[in-house]
Each structure stands twice: as C-alpha cells, then as structure tokens.
Amino acid sequence: MSILENFLTYVKIDTQSDENVSVNPTTKKQFDLGNLLVKQLHELGVKNAFIDDTCYVYGFIPCNTESTKTIGLIAHMDTATELTGKNVKPQVIEDYDGKDIVLNKELNIILSPTEFPFLSKKLHHTLVTTDGTTLLGADDKAGVAIIMEVVKTLTTTTSPHPNVIITFTPDEEVGMGTNSFNFDYYQKRNCQMAYTLDGGDINTLSFENFNAASATITLKGKAIHPGSAKGKMVNSIHLAMEFHEMLPAYMVPATTENYEGFNHLNNIEGSVEETKLHYIIRNHDMNKFRKQIDLFNSITEFMNKKYGQGTVNADIKDSYYNMKEVVLKHPEIIEYAIKGLKRNNIEPFIEPIRGGTDGARLSFKGILTPNLGTGGENYHGKYEYVSVTDMEKMVKVVLDILKIITE
C-alpha cells in the first residue's frame, strides 16, 4: 500500500483517547489501529513486532551497516478530544490549485487560504482534508504513516541504517503517552536517542517545550438566603473573580506567542459556597515559570489574610519540563536532523513547542527525543489537513537521517 492508502486507512479507524480514564489505553478502540500496525509490520518482515496489553506497539529492525547506534522512531495512534474522530470521511485534493476548498457544501464549511494563509504554500500538493464534521487525525496518523513507509523502504531496499526501534503509543493527546512506555525495551537495545514524528510543517525541528504545571484554586464562601444575606454571605464566585483579576491580563494564550508564557483558565466550577478555578501554567524559561507559580501562591496568601485563613487553597503540581536542557547535552541528535533536512533542500526552522510532547518525558528518562514535522496543519479541528506531498518528502528526510547516523 502507498503512504496515501495507509493514511486513509488509519484515519478511518476511530482512536480517540479519553481524558477521564487514568489507565493505558484510555480507550480500547486504540487496539484496532495497533493490531493493524503489528500485522503490517509482520508483512513487511518485522516479525518481532508486538503490541502489549497497554496498547504500545514495538518493533526492532537490525542495522545493515557496521553502526552500533540505535535510534527510535515514535508516533502516537490516538486522536484529540476536542472534536470527534468517529466516522472520519477524508477528502483527497490532488494538484491543489490554491483556491478555497469546500469541505462541506451543506454546512457551508470552507477551508480558505484567506483564513489559513499557510495553505497557499501547498500549491500543486496532494492534500487530504476532513468533510467538515470531524477532525482528520493527521495528528498523529500522518506520523504513523510516514514511519510505516520508512519501514517499507528499510525492509525492501539496501538503504543504510543503524538499529531502529519502531514505537507507536496510545493516549498522547491526554498526556499519558509515556505512562506505560517500555523503557526496558529501549535500554536492552542501548537506545538513547529517538525522534517523535508529531509536528506540523516538515521544515520544523523542535527540541524545546514548555515547563508546565496545573493549578486548582479552591475558594470557600458562605451561602445565606439572599433575602437576609447582608453582612453574612460570602460569595465564592466573587472571590474567584477577584483572584483571577490579580493575574496579568496579558499572559493568556490569546495574546502570547513564541517564547511567551501564559496562565490559562480552562475550567470553572462554581456556586456561592465553593468555586474551583482550573489553570494550566506554561513557560519555556524555568525562572519565569517559577515566578508565575509564586504569583499564584502570593495571591492565595494575600486573599487568606484579607478574608481569613482557609478561604483560598492553591493546589499546584508540576506536569513536565523543557527538554532543551537535556537534549543539548548531546547536540548530535539535532545535527543529524538538520543535515537530513538540508540534504532534501529543506531549510530547518527551529521552533519551540508551545505545548508538551512525549519527547520531553522520554528525554528526561534518558531517551533524547526531539520532534520532527509531518506536513499537517490546523490540528484538533474540522479544518485539519495534511499534505501527502510533504509526507513523502518527510520519508526521504527520515531515511537520510538514518544514513547520516551510520556515516
């Protein structure tokens, strides 16, 4: 099967994860894709490929050179929770002409280069879009398809390569992509470097991500009948509004970019008696990150002095850290990728990830894992699309990276 045929097959399989479940896999339907990938790997000659009971797929391809290095290639099988991944009906646009793409005529949903200027760069590409009612799942089934095409080349040609570990993971979209990762499998094969294929434009190389924390702020009020509440009622919703207004208004996702951090209020549960504010705290710079957390604690202390101890409680937990500090201790993993891109006349664009990545957690566990692009855009929504042309280019980039490692 071609890379396009594989991709179309993969996106039609519903693998949406579930943020309300705390064990891998968060949805059993992810096994549907995992089992198919194992079958395909076996057919391609990777007879040792298997899927474990937590829905992680592993396979090992021995080197065909004198290289003693081992490299991992990793992509995730699940899709995001923002929009359904069920009944995906992909539409193939061949030789894109630069005009508006009608995703759904009945619903008047249009993918336009006016609204999404990056689309203009895909002139004459083969694109795959949604039908306007679901996400596409290019995040990260484009990465899965690219890796499978790389495997096909490695097992059917003499393209030089080191030892390669193939890994497909569940539950990345709900922050659990490495929870049951088999680190022993990697350690036994002396694998200390890998690439995730989980980015956007194929020129993008990322090895910096946010430092991240979650904060739950609980504010206690006092409910009294409104008719007799004077001097007695304490409305926790008003306290929550006061707390939030003491955070910098300019440090929110809608007003920040690049290396700018933010405090994002993403959920509120409230009544007069008790209100909970749920935040995520993000910054690439560790010192600035700690200052953001300090501010949450300072506001909590101030309000408790103002309204009484126990009025406000801040439960703040670190989630993950910027992998840059560990990856740059071994810059060769970055150099391999830069050389691979340049060999294919692609000028690398070093871009910080404004989010998390499984690569960050893996890097801090001893598997240095920068992230490569896959050719997709507008992830997690109905305007998601991918360039198959770019996916094919990325196959060549990965093959060249593997060659470079052996040189």
- Domains of the chain, by residue range, sit at 3-208+323-406, 211-320
Q: Which residue has the tokens 């996916």?
A: 391
Are 78 and 17 in contact by the 8 Å Cβ rule? The answer is yes
Confidence at residue 319, expressed as pLDDT on a 0 to 100 scale: 84
* CATH 3.40.630.10, domain 3-208+323-406, yes or no: yes
273 is catalytic: no
Q: Which residue from 282, 294, 293, 305 is spatially nearest to 353, judged by alpha carbons?
A: 282
Q: What is the pTM of this model?
A: 0.88
pLDDT tens digits, residue range 219-235? Answer: 999 999 999 999 999 99
Quick one: residue 87, left, alpha or beta (phi over 0 = left, psi -120 to 50 = alpha)? left
> CA 352, 78, 140: angle at the middle one, nearest 5?
45
Instruction: Give the C-alpha distances (Å, rounded to integers) separating 227 from 92, 111, 232, 270.
Output: 63, 54, 11, 21
Looking at the DSSP assignment, which residues form a beta bridge with residue 169? 76
* Neighbouring C-alpha atoms within 13 Å toward the C-beta of 148: 30
Number of Cβ within 10 Å of residue 351's Cβ equals 18
294 is catalytic: no
SS3 341: helix
| CA–CA distance, 376 with 396 (Å, rounded to integer) | 17
Confidence at residue 325, expressed as pLDDT on a 0 to 100 scale: 87
pLDDT tens digits, residue range 176-188? Answer: 999 999 999 999 9
| CA–CA distance, 51 with 358 (Å, rounded to integer) | 19
Residue stretches of the chain with pLDDT short of 70 = none
* Catalytic hit among 139, 171, 172, 351: 172
Looking at the DSSP assignment, which residues form a beta bridge with residue 370? none
| CA–CA distance, 71 with 102 (Å, rounded to integer) | 41
Q: Report the top-level CATH class of 211-320.
A: alpha beta
Confidence at residue 262, expressed as pLDDT on a 0 to 100 scale: 98
* Catalytic hit among 14, 78, 139, 198: 78
| CA–CA distance, 352 with 204 (Å, rounded to integer) | 9
